[in-house]
Amino acid sequence: MGKKGAAALGLVLVLALMGFSVFQLGAGNRLAQSLNDAHDSDVVMYGAAWCPACAATRDYLTARGQSFVELDMEKNPEAAQEFAQFGGHGIPLVLAKGEVIRGHRPSELNRILAEKSQ
């Protein structure tokens, strides 16, 4: 294979990897939406009773008047399995209208909930 053929093959591989990466980035949101639907809630929060960031997110959602489903991964094996599908790192993990939010991020919650309610 000549230099042009190798360059073309390299370009094809790079484009294929980029396409796969874009697909994978969307996979998290597709999974989030399917779990929002499965729990029949626009907001699902995975956390633990001892977690201060989870308490802050819970308090924030409650003060905002936002209904949500809270799943304690230490008490609920199904919740732990669902959480693991997102890589299993860091709580709270919030699924808000099909988008994934890691940690206590009220501004991100506001943006998603306001954006998707219009």
Q: Is the dihedral of CA 30, 32, 33, 39 positive or negative?
A: positive
Q: Please name each of the domains of the chain with its CATH number.
A: 28-116 (3.40.30.10)
- The whole-angstrom separation of Cα 113 and Cα 61 is 11
Q: How far is CA 82 from CA 59, 87, 97, 117, in A?
A: 23, 10, 16, 25
What are the pLDDT digits (tens) for 44-96? Answer: 999 999 999 999 999 999 999 999 999 999 999 999 999 999 887 889 999 99
Give the pLDDT confidence score for residue 12 in this predicted structure.
45
Give the pLDDT confidence score for residue 10 in this predicted structure.
47
